[in-house]
Amino acid sequence: MNEIPEKFVENYFSRKIIYAINGMIVCDDQGQYLLADSAYVDSDILVTPFRRSTEHSLTSTVGRFNYLLANQRIAVEYSIGMLKGRFQSLKELRTRLTDKKSVQKLIVFIRFCIVFHNLCIIEGDFWWKENELSLDDAEDPESLILSNNSVSMRKQLLNYV
């Protein structure tokens, strides 16, 4: 975001130490489960990486699971890069957030960009294949670890690694 929001400023301060709008991006969901990074909590449908603890290191199986999970999540990071490449205005939103209506207008704009981007892909507009795509939002797969010990889809999937 180009400007500091006028209300609820702390809600817009991101992990990258800038003001931003955070959202969840879903790519090719087949309704079974969603892959997420360490910002999310593991659940029955949300699969997150395992975290290294100070007392115990990750087993090789769990480490491989985290690595494979991170590789699958690259598709989401790639999608964000394509979206920001097509709509440069999404890289630094120049909108003043003053009230609920201005936030809603911004969300409508972001949704429009996503829908229009998907329509372009359906129509065969793959502009990024001719241009070098920068994935400045991509995370290091080794850093995608989360602390949560709940019994979940993540633990069930671990059996397939």
Residue extents of the structural domains in the chain? 9-158
Q: Over the stretch 73-127, which tens digit does the pLDDT of each residue have?
A: 887 788 888 888 888 888 888 788 888 898 889 889 988 998 888 888 888 887 6
Cα dihedral: 25, 28, 85, 133 (round 10): 120
Q: Over the stretch 132-154, which tens digit does the pLDDT of each residue have?
A: 544 444 444 444 344 344 445 66
Task: Write the CB contacts of 151 (distance below 8 Å, at least 6 apart in sequence).
Answer: none
> Is the pLDDT higher at 73 or at 31?
73
Q: Over the stretch 32-68, which tens digit does the pLDDT of each residue have?
A: 778 887 778 888 878 888 877 777 788 888 889 888 8
Give phi and psi for 104, each to the nearest 5.
Answer: -60, -40
Could you identify the residue written with the tokens 């409508």? 108
Kindly state the average pLDDT of the residues 25-34.
69
- Is residue 110 within 8 Å of 103, Cβ to Cβ? no
Nearest to 50 by CA among 161, 132, 160, 158: 158
Q: Over the stretch 101-110, which tens digit does the pLDDT of each residue have?
A: 988 898 899 8
